Each structure stands twice: as structure tokens, then as C-alpha cells.
Amino acid sequence: MTRAFFALIGRDLRLAARIGGGGGMAVFFFLVVVAVVPLGVGPDLNLLARIAPGMLWVALLLSSLLTLDRLFQADYEDGSLDLLAMGRLPLELVAAAKATGHFLTTGLPLVVAAPLLGLMLNLEVSAFPALMLAMLAGAPALSFLGIIGAGLTVGIRRGGLLASLLVLPFYIPVLIFGVAAARAALFGFPDGVAGQSLTLLCAVALASLVLGPVAAAAALRANLR
């Protein structure tokens, strides 16, 4: 069962790498967002430094939302989702494997690229560890909450748009605590605020690791009948 789980993740990663929608695309997308922000709010370096953690988090959230419809839709269209549902691997673990693959191709590249993008937004170097730590804790939550929306909308035409609408409410706590952790480290809030936000973020992430696959599997069962 473990082998099937990792085989599924490996398959998703290979697919992402060969079709060209993998990590490179995600980093390119963040670069576009980071390039557009100074054009929108003006090139004031102090202002950019202040909004940098929030901007990077919003970019992470957007890239997660934009790729949601690819999570199950391609497998649904070519029939492999039906095969996965009939296989011996429980549907919950299938969903967990898909979410892990999604995190590795959209969330992880941004965590790696965050220091570079942060430099472009004039973010203090001292804030990088906190920002990256918060992103590393929060990005899996985005993927594991996202599969709920992807599962609910599989098989619906233009389901991607609907999936973003459905999961956005669940993303908001991740965004709030993630940004709070990074900002607290950046502006030297009273001791404990950064740690508190990070703890809450980890709690949200752990809850989503449990809840996401279960809810997504229930949604898939409803949709695949």
C-alpha cells in the first residue's frame, strides 16, 4: 500500500516534469506576480518591504488556486481516476497522494524561491527564516484543503473556477496565520507572537492533513457514481 502511495506521487511528479507544468512553471508564475506588484503599488522600497510577506503569501495562494482543477480533472477525463477508485489503495490515500504531488510541484518551489523573490521586494534578510518556515508549514495545508474543492468539482465543466470559490474560505486561516508569523518576525512584535502564529498555522496544517483527504474522498465518491 505504501508502494502504491509513493508510486502515485512519483507518477504525478513525472507527469508534471514531462508536460512542463511542474516546478518551473510555479516559480515563473511567482516571478510574474512579484514583477506586477511594484508596477501596481509603485516602486517605493519601504512600502514593498512592508507588504512583501503578504504578497508572497498571496502569490502562493493564487498559484495553489490556479492549479486546483488539474488535480483530478485530467485523471477524470482519461479514465485513470476510475481505475484509481477501483484499485486497492483507499480513495483517501489516493487523494492524499495527489495533494502531496500538488504541494511538491506548486508549494515547495515557492518556498525555495522565496528568498530570491523576497530580495526583489526589498524584504529584510533577517525575516527569511521565519517566512520560509511559515510557508513550509502552510503550503501543504493549501494543497490538502485544495483537494476538497478539486474533488467536489471533478467532472463539472469549468469546475476550476468553482473550486477556487469553494476553497477560498478554507484558505483564509492559513493566510492569516502564515502572514502573521512572517510579519511578527519582520517587525519584532513582542516575543511569542511569531511562535504563536506558527503554532496555530501548524495546527491548521495538521487538521487539513486529516480532514482534506477524507472530505475529498467523500466528494469523489459522490461524483464518480
Partner 1 sequence: MSPMTSLSASQRLQAFANPARFMALSARLLAPLWVVSLGLLCIGLYYALVASPPDYQQGETVRIMYVHVPSAWLAMFGYSLMAAASAVALIFRHPLADLCAKSAAPIGAAFTFLALVTGALWGKPMWGAWWVWDARLTSVLILFFLYLGYMALWAAIEEPARAARAAAVLALVGAINVPIIRYSVVWWNTLHQPASVFRMDGPTIAPEMLLPLALMALGFTFFFVTLLLVRMRAEILRHRVRTLRLARAAAGAED
The residue among 73 and 223 lying less far from partner 1, judged by its C-beta, is: 223
In the complex with partner 1, the residue whose CB is nearer, 19 or 222, is 222
Nearest to 67 by CA among 215, 155, 167: 167
Do 1 and 97 form a contact (C-beta atoms < 8 A)?
A: no
Site residues for partner 1 per CB under 8 A: 148, 152-153, 156, 159, 162, 165-166, 168-170, 172-173, 211, 215, 218-219, 221-223, 225
Of 122 and 199, which CB lies nearer to partner 1 in the complex structure? Answer: 199
Which CB sits closer to partner 1, 29 or 72? 72
Long-range contacts of 109-112 (CB under 8 A, 24+ apart): 109/23, 109/24, 109/26, 109/27, 109/30, 110/26, 110/27, 110/30, 110/56, 110/59, 110/60, 110/63, 110/135, 110/139, 111/135, 111/136, 111/139, 112/27
Instruction: Give the nearest distance from C-beta 148 to partner 1 in angstroms.
Output: 6
Closest CB to partner 1 among 109 and 159? 159
Q: How far is the CB of 165 from partner 1 (least distance, A)?
A: 5
CB of 31 to partner 1, least distance (A): 29
The CB-of-150 to partner 1 minimum distance in angstroms stands at 12
User: At its nearest, how many Å lie between partner 1 and the CB of residue 169?
Assistant: 5
CB atoms under 10 Å from CB of 3, counted, come to: 8
Amino acid identity, position 163: A
